[in-house]
């Protein structure tokens, strides 16, 4: 049915709109309307439905903005009495076919408070991207990343006039062919990828957004910018590079980690740390020792993101690890009410994290009973945990649990970490073993 034709054919009854409420009351009485009047009334109701449907469609498919001047693809901050943030949100969310956009900074204005990022449908127009729930933003004035909070974390370069900031989603599909609950959002600075952050994918998707907050700020928006991450992702999957954020004195050979250091002293540790922390979805990983090398100084564990690169996991605060074995695994048992945002990497301070190096001791399956009753409120290393959620890190050897330890998870989470320290050591890593 053509909307324009319907509207044209029904124009002769448009005047009845003014009497709509009276008619509604009137027709409740039997026989109140003649046949023609009733048909006209039905036409009016259908017209109203068509108009409402069209208006809703326009609201969904039109950009939203407040305190932003728009001149074609040029966006600029609109000075206002209360000095509120100006925000522009695009009409449509990013999709697997249109997954990236860019802005070019034309003028930094007074303070350069320009933010680029993604926001959910209905996001408040008085906040920068990243300040409110389910949003993320990279800000030009300080190079910080904001994720669902009003405070940021150092992330990328500070931007100048002429710089280009980009944002996109590396879409994947789950086993059902659907977009998973969390997606990888990436940011670029002058066409170079700055970093990736996992973001909850809300109903309706994530919409490109540009925020500004000072007089004179001006950017050029490019919603047709191209970023060929598909090829990069395929290459990364083949080499495994996309899984790792740090490789120190460790080289990647397909899916194998190989020690590449001197192996002369305890200062020659090789460290490999995953790009993403363990979470309630992916809470466990394994390594298989392919070659024990000269001494089999191999460790598996978890560590905070800023853990020293030349220290075995388990040696310093902010880590916990198990040393040596055949097929070794490490995971986290999260409490049922675990809130990942409370331990977000974007919280201001890292708490002290108590760590241990666990020996290969006999372990009884009976110890699993009432696990959280056992560790709840219990001091760790003789001290009560101050910050961070209390979780239980466990280790396996050849599929059997051999140890567990209650620890406070650091801000930003625990990252899968592998340490190596003698020549010829090689391990295969599996970030997604079949677990319960």
**What pLDDT, in 10s, does the model give residues 178-236?**
777 888 899 999 999 888 888 889 999 999 999 999 999 999 999 999 887 543 433 33
Q: Could you say which of 205, 227, 249 is where a domain stops?
A: 227
CA proximity to 353, closest of 414, 418, 404: 414
Q: Is residue 31, in this structure, part of any structural domain at all?
A: yes
Do residues 122 and 163 both lie within one domain?
yes
Q: Could you say which of 16, 32, 60 is where a domain stops?
A: 60
Do residues 22 and 73 both lie within one domain?
no
Distance CA 330, CA 261 (A): 24
For the chain, what is the largest distance between any 2 Cα atoms, rounded to a whole number of angstroms? 100
Q: Is residue 233, in this structure, part of any structural domain at all?
A: no
Q: Could you say which of 13, 39, 60 is where a domain stops?
A: 60
Alpha-carbon dihedral 27, 31, 34, 37, rounded to 10 degrees: 10
Do residues 194 and 317 both lie within one domain?
no
Residue 234 CA from chain centroid, whole number: 20
Residue 79 corresponds to which tokens in the numbers above? Answer: 């000075």
Q: Is residue 162, in this structure, part of any structural domain at all?
A: yes
Q: What is the DSSP string of 407-430?
A: EEPPTT-PEEEEEE-STT-EEEEE
Name the DSSP letter for residue 14: G
Q: Is residue 84, in this structure, part of any structural domain at all?
A: yes
**Residues 6 or more apart whose Cβ sits within 8 Å of residue 345:** 147, 153, 277, 305, 411, 412, 413
Residues of the chain with pLDDT under 70: 1-60, 174-177, 229-242, 325, 339-387, 434-436
**Residues 6 or more apart whose Cβ sits within 8 Å of residue 188:** 102, 164, 165, 166, 167, 168, 194, 227
Do residues 249 and 394 both lie within one domain?
yes
This prediction has a pTM of 0.47
Do residues 313 and 368 both lie within one domain?
yes
Do residues 279 and 359 both lie within one domain?
yes
Distance CA 393, CA 97 (A): 40
387 SS3 class: coil
Do residues 321 and 245 both lie within one domain?
yes
Do residues 386 and 419 both lie within one domain?
yes
Distance CA 416, CA 396 (A): 14
Is there a contact between 321 and 415 (Cβ–Cβ < 8 Å)?
no
Query: What is the per-residue pLDDT across 366-402, written as a single tens digit (0 to 9) for each?
Result: 433 333 333 333 333 333 344 678 899 999 888 788 8
CATH of the domain at 337: 2.60.120.920
Q: Is residue 258, in this structure, part of any structural domain at all?
A: yes
Q: How far is CA 106 from CA 83, 99, 140, 332, in A?
A: 21, 23, 12, 47
Do residues 39 and 80 both lie within one domain?
no
Do residues 163 and 186 both lie within one domain?
yes
Do residues 382 and 359 both lie within one domain?
yes
Q: Is residue 379, in this structure, part of any structural domain at all?
A: yes
Distance CA 420, CA 203 (A): 43
Residue 230 CA from chain centroid, whole number: 19
Range of the domain at 43: 3-60
Strand partners, 419: 271, 299
Do residues 137 and 204 both lie within one domain?
yes
Total number of domains in the chain? 3
Q: Is residue 127, in this structure, part of any structural domain at all?
A: yes
**Residues 6 or more apart whose Cβ sits within 8 Å of residue 360:** 322, 324, 325, 397, 402, 403
Q: Is residue 184, in this structure, part of any structural domain at all?
A: yes
Given this model, what pLDDT does residue 329 score?
85
Is there a contact between 86 and 114 (Cβ–Cβ < 8 Å)?
no
Give me Rg for the CA atoms of the chain. 28
């Amino acid at each position: 049915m053509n909307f324009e034709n319907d509207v044209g054919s029904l124009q002769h009854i448009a005047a009845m709109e003014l009497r709509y409420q009276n008619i509604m009351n009137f027709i409740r009485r039997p026989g109140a309307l003649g046949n023609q009047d009733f048909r006209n009334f039905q036409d009016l109701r259908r017209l109203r439905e068509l108009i409402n449907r069209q208006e809703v469609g326009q609201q969904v498919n039109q950009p939203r903005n407040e305190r932003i001047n728009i001149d074609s693809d040029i966006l600029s901050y609109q000075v206002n009495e209360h000095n509120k943030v100006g925000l522009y949100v695009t009409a449509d969310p990013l999709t697997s076919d249109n997954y990236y956009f860019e802005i070019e900074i034309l003028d930094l204005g007074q303070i350069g408070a320009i933010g680029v990022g993604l926001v959910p449908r209905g996001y408040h127009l008085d906040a920068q991207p990243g300040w409110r729930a389910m949003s993320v933003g990279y800000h030009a004035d300080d190079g910080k990343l904001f994720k669902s909070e009003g405070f940021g974390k150092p992330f990328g370069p500070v931007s100048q006039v002429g710089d280009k900031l980009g944002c996109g989603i590396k879409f994947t599909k789950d086993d059902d062919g659907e977009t998973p609950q969390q997606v990888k959002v990436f940011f670029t600075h002058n066409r170079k990828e700055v970093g990736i952050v996992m973001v909850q994918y809300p109903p309706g998707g994530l919409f490109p957004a540009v925020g500004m907050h000072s007089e004179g700020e001006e950017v050029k928006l490019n919603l047709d910018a191209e970023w060929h991450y598909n090829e990069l992702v395929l290459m990364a999957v083949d080499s495994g590079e996309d899984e790792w954020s740090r490789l120190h004195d460790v080289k990647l050979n397909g899916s194998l980690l190989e020690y590449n250091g001197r192996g002369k002293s305890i200062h020659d540790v090789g460290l490999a740390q995953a790009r993403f922390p363990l979470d309630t979805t992916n809470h466990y990983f394994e390594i298989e020792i392919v070659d024990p090398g000269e001494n089999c100084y191999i460790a598996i564990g978890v560590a905070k993101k800023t853990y020293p690169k030349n220290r075995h996991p388990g040696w310093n605060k902010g880590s916990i690890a198990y040393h040596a074995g055949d097929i070794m695994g490490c995971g986290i048992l999260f409490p049922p009410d675990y809130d990942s945002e409370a331990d977000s990497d974007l919280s201001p301070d890292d708490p002290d994290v108590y760590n241990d190096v666990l020996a290969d001791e006999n372990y009884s399956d009976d110890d699993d009973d009432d696990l959280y009753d056992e560790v709840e409120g219990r001091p760790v290393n003789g001290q009560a945990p101050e910050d961070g959620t209390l979780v239980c890190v466990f280790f396996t050897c050849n599929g059997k649990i051999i140890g567990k330890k209650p620890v406070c998870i650091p801000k930003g989470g625990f990252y899968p970490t592998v340490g190596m320290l003698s020549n010829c050591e090689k391990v295969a890593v599996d970030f997604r073993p079949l677990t319960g």
